[in-house]
Structure 1
Amino acid sequence: MEPDPAPPPAPITGQEKFRWIMHCGWRGLCPRCGVGRMFKSWLKIVDKCGHCGLDYRFAAPDDGPAFFSLCIIALPLTAIVVWIQVAFEPPFWVHLVTSVPLMAIGTLLPLRPIKGWLVASQFVNRAQEAGTQGLWTRLHGTEAGRSDFDQ
């Protein structure tokens, strides 16, 4: 069993934040303690961290993982598939056997780490929509002047 990683110190630099976000996001770990699980299924985020009790109400990656997966992975793969078609003119069944599975796997596999990175980034950077603090306070019953990040 590997030792529990220490959470990042209170004021950290940009590079340390980036490393912590990548560590937690890639492994699907809680961005506060680095030990508890972030996901309860493939893309479903847990309600609370089982280790430190972090409430994941702040987590709102929305369509971000799909957007980044499509832009970063699907566009280059599409260019490769088009190049193969133009250069070699293979029969249609070759694309069904190779290109379709490559595109599906290439865009679905990175969704979880990307979602983990986005949620960890939201927590580490205390990101929320501008001007929504009062609404969040009323909706979630938190104290005035205190956000979901101050748990």
Structure 2
Amino acid sequence: MHPVEPACETLPATFLQAARRAAAGRCPRCGCAELFRKWLKPVERCRACGQDWSLARADDIPAYIAILLTGHILAPLIIYLAGDLEMRPLVAGALVLPLATAMVIAGLQPIKGAVIAMQWWLGMQGFHKERRGS
């Protein structure tokens, strides 16, 4: 078992707080240590609170959410470029495709963190459901 820092033993009050911690790359349980050891690979265990993150199984959900959000954000831009500006499709594609790729890649880790936080918060995938004061 890893040593636990007392100041880091603060459980989040809400799911939103846990999701924000995880989206920032921090442990959703304590918010003190990093959640990822590589870009999309969670740590086995939190250095600060000892939470086991090997149970997390986000699979393809972060990619689906990132693509869905990117599409919804870029759709008005595509409509504006093609419709109002009457931009040629090749030029519009040259602007939008790199932007879409960057948005999906930038969103993957924060979204995966939030999905892992949701699994932990709801007690899914073998996680123990914990709440403040319980």
Q: Name the TM-score class by shorter chain.
A: 0.7 to 0.9
CA distance in 2, matches of 1:110, 1:90: 28
Match of 2:41 in 1: 44
What letter corresponds to residue 8 of structure 1 in structure 2? L
Match of 1:94 in 2: 91
CA contact (8 A) 1:57 1:148 kept: no
CA distance in 1, matches of 2:97, 2:69: 17
TM-score by length of 1: 0.68
CA distance in 1, matches of 2:92, 2:37: 35
What letter corresponds to residue 149 of structure 1 in structure 2? H
CA contact (8 A) 1:58 1:149 kept: no
Cα distance, 1:127 vs. partner? 1.6
Match of 2:55 in 1: 58
Cα distance, 1:123 vs. partner? 0.9
In structure 2, list runs of 5 or more residues that go unmatched: 1-6, 130-134
112, 120, 125: which one aligns with 1:115: 112
CA distance in 2, matches of 1:127, 1:92: 45
Match of 2:74 in 1: 77
Cα distance, 1:36 vs. partner? 1.4
Distance 1:17 1:43, change over 3 A: same
Determine helix, strand or coil for the equivalent of 1:110.
helix
CA contact (8 A) 1:123 1:149 kept: yes
CA distance in 1, matches of 2:57, 2:101: 24
113, 128, 134: which one aligns with 1:149: 128
Task: Answer with 91-100 or 110-119: which moved more.
Answer: 91-100
Q: How does 1:25-40 map to 2 (within 5 A)?
A: 25-40=22-37
Determine helix, strand or coil for the equivalent of 1:100.
helix
Match of 2:4 in 1: none
* Alignment coverage as a number of residue pairs: 123
Please identify runs of 4+ aligned residues in structure 1 that moved more than 4 A: none
Structure label with greater radius of gyration: 1
Q: How high is the sequence identity, in percent, across the aligned residues?
A: 28
TM-score by length of 2: 0.75
CA contact (8 A) 1:25 1:116 kept: yes
